[in-house]
């Protein structure tokens, strides 16, 4: 029977191939594995003890590598730099979110009609005897409506701590073009929305794209010295950000609870069960059962 050609792998198929590659290959026996078996991307193996496992074939490895390379090429320079910054913050002991959207209060532009409210003046039309000397009522206060803005942050992070006062929420805005940077600088309400939700705000951009004097003094600056790209360039702190106390409101905590923190793919540090047998031929499942029996006191 000829093997049908494998179509373009969907995300769920790529995820399952990576999971099988990173594990001992225990099957789930679902529809995804039926597709992978039919396409010849995995094969079913059976040990002497009757334990079935799934192994990637050479075709499966090639398709998985092609999918990952295509995904890396599709990732923009902006996304790569944002991931680089997120990894730096994660290594520094912070909890990080990427592309987080939060609602922040901002000040409305001043309205000329609100600048000088009309004062109450006693005139001929005012009934006599209502107010004595010096008892004129004050002019009514003008209540300007509250303005809200959705702030989509490239990188949002807080310190990994159990004390709320030590959270120090921070926003890092990633810019890879001068036009994008100065488009931000022309919109002060956007920066104000960021400042309302964090203690420190930073701009991160490649070295030589802008001068520190062109950036608002409240914002810190990171520059990336990239010879060939932004993935491995040296990160330099050019100017620290102004620190201000910030207590995250309850809606922000709800938004963080609904969002997934940034978690890079760390295959090199995750414990793997790549082989069914170890070097001396001991069955991995038998060793696991022996450890469980020992824990139960059998």
- 116 domain residue, yes or no: no
68 and 82 together in one domain: no
CATH of the domain at 235: 3.40.1350
92 and 64 together in one domain: no
36 and 102 together in one domain: no
- 268 domain residue, yes or no: no
55 and 164 together in one domain: no
200 and 241 together in one domain: yes
- 121 domain residue, yes or no: no
**CA separation for the pair 97, 106 (Å, rounded):** 22
What is the pLDDT at residue 238?
94
What is the pLDDT at residue 104?
86
**CA separation for the pair 49, 204 (Å, rounded):** 56
Burial category of 151 from C-beta neighbours within 10 Å (exposed 0-12, middle 13-18, buried 19 and up): buried
**CA separation for the pair 223, 241 (Å, rounded):** 13
81 and 223 together in one domain: yes
Look at the block and give the residue holding tokens 């390379």: 69
39 and 97 together in one domain: no
- 122 domain residue, yes or no: no
67 and 6 together in one domain: yes
**CA separation for the pair 53, 223 (Å, rounded):** 48
Counted domains in the chain: 2
Identify the domain boundary among 74, 95, 126: 74
**CA separation for the pair 42, 60 (Å, rounded):** 6
**CA separation for the pair 234, 216 (Å, rounded):** 23
Who's near 51: CB < 8 A, 6+ residues apart?
Answer: 276, 283, 285
Phi, psi of 170 (to 5 degrees): -140, 150
pTM of the shown model: 0.57
**CA separation for the pair 181, 158 (Å, rounded):** 24
Residue range(s) defining the domain that contains residue 56: 1-74
What is the pLDDT at residue 242?
94
2 and 47 together in one domain: yes
Phi, psi of 151 (to 5 degrees): -105, 115
Look at the block and give the residue holding tokens 């099988």: 20
CATH of the domain at 13: 1.10.10
199 and 91 together in one domain: yes
149 and 216 together in one domain: yes
Q: What is the mean pLDDT of each run of 10 residues along the chain (298 residues)?
A: 63 87 86 90 88 89 82 74 92 92 76 47 53 57 65 93 92 91 89 91 93 94 79 87 92 90 61 41 50 52
Phi, psi of 19 (to 5 degrees): -65, -40
60 and 8 together in one domain: yes
């Amino acid at each position: 029977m000829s093997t049908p050609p494998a179509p373009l792998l969907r995300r769920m198929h790529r995820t399952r191939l990576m999971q099988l590659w990173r594990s001992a290959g225990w099957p789930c026996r679902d529809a995804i594995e039926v597709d992978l078996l039919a396409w010849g991307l995995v094969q079913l193996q059976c040990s002497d003890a009757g334990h079935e496992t799934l192994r990637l074939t050479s075709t499966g490895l090639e398709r998985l590598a092609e999918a990952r390379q295509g995904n890396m090429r599709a990732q923009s320079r902006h996304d790569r730099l944002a991931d680089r910054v997120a990894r730096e913050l994660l290594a520094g002991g912070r909890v990080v979110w990427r592309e987080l959207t939060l609602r922040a209060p901002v000040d409305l532009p001043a309205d000329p009609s609100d600048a000088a409210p009309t004062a109450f003046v006693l005139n001929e039309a005012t009934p006599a005897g209502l107010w004595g000397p010096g008892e004129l009522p004050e002019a009514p206060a003008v209540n300007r409506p509250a303005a809200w803005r959705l702030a989509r942050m490239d990188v949002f992070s807080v310190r990994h701590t159990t004390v709320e006062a030590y959270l120090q929420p921070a926003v890092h805005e990633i810019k890879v073009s001068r036009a994008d940077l100065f488009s931000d600088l022309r919109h002060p309400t956007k920066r104000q929305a960021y400042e309302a939700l964090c203690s420190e705000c930073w701009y991160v951009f490649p070295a030589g794209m802008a001068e520190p004097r062109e950036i608002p003094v409240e914002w810190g600056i990171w520059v990336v010295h990239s010879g060939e790209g932004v993935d491995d360039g040296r990160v330099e702190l050019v100017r620290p950000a102004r620190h201000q106390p910030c207590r995250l409101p309850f809606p922000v905590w709800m938004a963080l609870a609904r969002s997934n923190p940034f978690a890079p793919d760390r295959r090199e540090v995750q414990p793997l069960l790549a082989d069914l047998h170890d070097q001396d031929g001991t069955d991995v499942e038998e060793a696991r059962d022996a450890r469980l029996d020992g824990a139960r006191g059998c």
